[in-house]
Structure 1
Amino acid sequence: MGAITAIVSKKNENVAKTAVTMLKMLKHKSTETFGLASPTTATIRKTIEDLQDKDPNSPVLIGHVFSKILTSDKPQPIKLDNGTFVFEGRIYSLNTEFSSVEFTAEKLNQNLENAEALIKDFEGDFAFAMAESGRLTAGRDSLGLYPLYYGENTDLSALASKRKALWEIGIKEVHSFPPGHLAVVDKYGFKFKPAKTLVHAKTKQITMQAATKKLSGLLQRSVKQRVSGLKEVAVAFSGGLDSTIIAFLAKKLGVEVHLISVSLKDQPEIEHAKKAAEALNLPLHIHLYSEKAVEEVLPKVLWLIEDANPVKTSIGIPVFWTAKEASDMGFRVMLAGQGADELFGGYKRYLNDYLRYGEESVQKTIFNDIAGMYENNFERDTKICNFHNVELRLPFATY
């Protein structure tokens, strides 16, 4: 997958060189094209050097680094009647017309106010930015599945798919763009507006049978949306309940499913994965690593996740290995079970919370964990998979 940038000068100065610097920081091994657009012009080139020669001379610019996942993916930015547009991620719809970037661009062409509707009405993992005269409009999906960061200093306001693109241009304080929000960005800075955000709803009492039926329907629909149009898909597979259910449902939908398990050598979990794969009657690809391999991959993972948190890093290493193996096998889309433990109280700390403080407390803890998954899990895993040009799709993480 690719990445986006957006930048506004607070002093009405040309920001072309700064925008190119940001694009350089977003480049990776699978990058095919670079794009840069002012509110009135859009340029796409195969190399960053060629793009540097096309100075748009504008205080408002958006950029795109393109890596193809699906055959329908196309380089950007896209020219609108009253601006330009970049979009990264995926909209999920059983109607392929509604899931295309071109369809989204056309909706914005009809009315720029449709940017809010894009967040409210569409299911997906995405971030976008529009360049208009004197300002930017940017947004992020309601759960924050696709990474987007923002920051400002005395000269600039900017956004990017990676923190390092903002650090590189002198923005020291970088923040995660709030999920489900729109932002209008001009020479005065950022103005955020909620469009579709998580709300802690009241608990409803229903029967186990009704809950099972409802949950089954929602999960089947989510998996169906995420494999629609695919002939094959990889599944990050542990042999646990979450990844096993996802693999089972994907197989049931007629997609060729390949299970990928990674582990350190001589660990018992691989036997669990083998038994689960056998029960599913699906091919399992096992890749074992040494402790030395952990030391070797650690700097790469730290560079990708842009966070020195030891817990995030320890989780990021097997994600890196799994995405690498999926990419080496030729897969461009990988399903995984992230989000299930938070949704269904799968961590022991929830039980401890319940026993110590009661039902209301654990409900609040679970909600806060779900609301914080974008910073704790999604951004890390998506950036790692993007490095390997593998699109991560998470059926449990749906609004």
Structure 2
Amino acid sequence: MGALTAIASTNEEKTFSYLFKMMNALKHRGHEAYGIAAKNLIEIHKTLSDFSSYKVDTVIGYNFTRILSCDIPQPLSSDDVKLAFEGRIYSVKGDFNLFEILETFRRKGIEGADFLLKNMDGAYSFVLMIQDLLVAGRDPIGLIPLYYGEKPGLCAVATEKKALWTIGIDHVKSFPPGFIGFFQQGKCSFRPVKILTKPEKKLTFSIEESVDRLKTLLFDAVASRIRNLKKAGLAFSGGLDSSIIAFLLKKCCVDVHLITVGSIRSKEINFAANLAEELSLPIHIRRFKASEVEEILPRVIWLIEELSPLSVSISIPFYWIAETTANLKLKVLFTGQGGDELFGGYRKYLDVFRSLGVNGVEETLFHDVKMSYRMNFERDEKVCAFHGIEMRLPFADWNLINYALRIPASHKISSPEDPLRKIVLRKVAKSLGLPASVYERKKKAVQYSAGVVKILKKIAKKKGRTISNFVEGHWERIRKKPTN
């Protein structure tokens, strides 16, 4: 695990210096080894200073940190093919073997990218070099961050925006999930391979039949993400989504450690602790003070590369969840992210129901699921990567998503006044045998339940600013910092 970087340029003199800047900007993601590949070159060293500079127009870089024992430094090479792969494949039984992916590309060439996206379920992005052509791709859900940008005579790709900012590319775009991109001589183009589409027809099954099918899909999603994994952390709020994942991880015999975060005055922590006791699972509680929120704010903004107050307020408690996971010497963190978008958990869906009806709800749910890579996954993965943690999201499973999107909105939200929402998922929790306190409890957003929004408002008010102005005040100063 680590970070991808790649450049296709018309200026051979500057390509390597640009790549070094990009890799240096991503040292927080990978610093155990560094690899570089060009047309007739592949080198892996312990430090960036060990590399020589070469005149090339196309180059791949990789920052490496070992998460699991099977992880190896990259890029890899076979004949004329060079490959850097970031992420994990879940649909392959047994150990994840990167050399099998490389062999697929060696045999199939560019068509190997299509094969990978169409057939391999997982969280991943990759950059492939065949002769002077760069080919990049991203899994169809967009679970691993990948960005690209252009300036005259140069195209570049990187796992985080800051790597592109550091070489003067200000207009950075998120690489579209399920696409492959072609980069050569400073030009780029894209082609869709496997993308999420809105179902044409809704299921006609009863809600009870949907419950049974969802139980199977959720179990399969968890099971495929725990192969050869003995222990893991789980971001745990005591809410519906994380409680279901906790139950299934335990059922799969994973030594799961629940991790919850809240302010010193947060009452939600007590609920999570009591529920953990009911589930007979260990829980680790991280309480924070208001002063810690202000102290960590600049780092969180730098990590997530966003100035949205909502994203920042979500990421601050999640930062401490990932930090606690790392302190426990755990390498994998599960979360329940994705459940609200799939099953209508947010209160905003009631407003949509009221104004646009059930069809409007279904349109909004699909949009939110499709855009989750930009709204949620990129943000959370960056926080985990900073702490050397791999994030896994069972609710972001391809098969589960496509089934859940076909469930009628009426099986998720009963009316514009529905106080609970997520009807079918609550029935899943009940059917699994979870306590009534889980499936009968109202949702509370993490940024509010953890107490972060209240603290940020107080801090901003003391400085005579709104939260938005307070966050924006940090943004421009932080945005182009290569390291933090």
TM-score by length of 2: 0.80
Quote the residue 1:8 is aligned against: 8
Kept after mapping to 2: 8 A contact 1:91/1:100: no
- Structure 1 residue 275 and structure 2 residue 283: aligned? no
Kept after mapping to 2: 8 A contact 1:23/1:64: yes
Task: Give the percent of matched residue pairs that are identical in Structure 1 and Structure 2.
Answer: 42
Quote the residue 2:178 is aligned against: 180
Inter-partner Cα distance in structure 1 for 2:356 and 2:167: 47
List per-residue Cα deviations over 1:298-340 (Å, max 9, x = no partner): 0110110111111101101011000000001100000000000
- Structure 1 residue 62 and structure 2 residue 69: aligned? no
Q: 1:40 Cα deviation (Å)?
A: 2.6
Task: State which of 149, 152, 159 in structure 1 corresponds to 2:150.
Answer: 152
| Residues 243-254 of structure 1 aligned to structure 2 (within 5 Å) | 243-254=242-253
| Residues 36-185 of structure 1 aligned to structure 2 (within 5 Å) | 36-51=36-51, 53=52, 55-93=53-91, 95-97=93-95, 99-112=96-109, 113-185=111-183
Inter-partner Cα distance in structure 2 for 1:255 and 1:39: 44
Q: 1:131 Cα deviation (Å)?
A: 1.6
Q: 1:14 Cα deviation (Å)?
A: 5.4
Inter-partner Cα distance in structure 2 for 1:240 and 1:141: 28
Kept after mapping to 1: 8 A contact 2:153/2:187: no
Inter-partner Cα distance in structure 2 for 1:249 and 1:135: 44
| Residues 1-399 of structure 1 aligned to structure 2 (within 5 Å) | 1-11=1-11, 13=13, 15-28=15-28, 31-51=31-51, 53=52, 55-93=53-91, 95-97=93-95, 99-112=96-109, 113-187=111-185, 189-202=187-200, 203-399=202-398
Amino acid at match of 2:48: I
Q: The residue matched to 2:395 in structure 1 has which SS? A: coil
Inter-partner Cα distance in structure 1 for 2:262 and 2:97: 37
CA radius of gyration, larger in: 2
Inter-partner Cα distance in structure 2 for 1:49 and 1:188: 26
Q: The residue matched to 2:100 in structure 1 has which SS? A: helix
Inter-partner Cα distance in structure 2 for 1:276 and 1:122: 36
Inter-partner Cα distance in structure 1 for 2:59 and 2:65: 20
Q: Which runs of 4+ in 1 moved over 4 A?
A: 11-14
Q: 1:106 Cα deviation (Å)?
A: 1.2
Q: 1:158 Cα deviation (Å)?
A: 0.3
Q: 1:214 Cα deviation (Å)?
A: 1.0
Inter-partner Cα distance in structure 2 for 1:274 and 1:183: 46
Kept after mapping to 1: 8 A contact 2:3/2:29: no
Q: 1:120 Cα deviation (Å)?
A: 1.0
Q: The residue matched to 1:87 in structure 2 has which SS? A: strand
Inter-partner Cα distance in structure 2 for 1:40 and 1:126: 26
Inter-partner Cα distance in structure 2 for 1:155 and 1:291: 48
Distance 1:79 1:29, change over 3 A: closer
Distance 1:9 1:30, change over 3 A: closer
Q: 1:157 Cα deviation (Å)?
A: 0.3
List per-residue Cα deviations over 1:359-396 (Å, max 9, x = no partner): 11110011111111111100000001000000000000
Quote the residue 2:406 is aligned against: none
Q: 1:11 Cα deviation (Å)?
A: 4.3
Inter-partner Cα distance in structure 1 for 2:141 and 2:386: 21
Q: 1:162 Cα deviation (Å)?
A: 0.7
Kept after mapping to 2: 8 A contact 1:37/1:56: no
Amino acid at match of 1:39: K
Q: The residue matched to 1:355 in structure 2 has which SS? A: helix
Amino acid at match of 2:393: L
Q: The residue matched to 1:358 in structure 2 has which SS? A: helix
Inter-partner Cα distance in structure 1 for 2:296 and 2:67: 24
Inter-partner Cα distance in structure 2 for 1:123 and 1:13: 39
Q: The residue matched to 2:233 in structure 1 has which SS? A: strand
TM-score by length of 1: 0.97
Inter-partner Cα distance in structure 2 for 1:14 and 1:308: 31
Amino acid at match of 2:241: D
Deviates more, 1:167-176 or 1:204-213: 204-213
Q: The residue matched to 2:17 in structure 1 has which SS? A: helix
List per-residue Cα deviations over 1:68-118 (Å, max 9, x = no partner): 000110000000212211000111135125x32121111111111111111
Inter-partner Cα distance in structure 1 for 2:269 and 2:255: 22
Deviates more, 1:24-33 or 1:173-182: 24-33
Kept after mapping to 2: 8 A contact 1:94/1:228: no
Q: The residue matched to 2:396 in structure 1 has which SS? A: coil
Inter-partner Cα distance in structure 2 for 1:332 and 1:377: 20
Inter-partner Cα distance in structure 2 for 1:39 and 1:375: 33
Q: 1:39 Cα deviation (Å)?
A: 2.5
Q: How many residues align?
A: 396
RMSD: 1.2
Kept after mapping to 1: 8 A contact 2:2/2:29: no
Amino acid at match of 1:75: P
Deviates more, 1:308-317 or 1:267-276: 267-276
Q: 1:132 Cα deviation (Å)?
A: 2.2
Structure 2: tracts of 5 or more residues without a match? 399-484
Q: 1:56 Cα deviation (Å)?
A: 3.8
Structure 1: tracts of 5 or more residues without a match? none
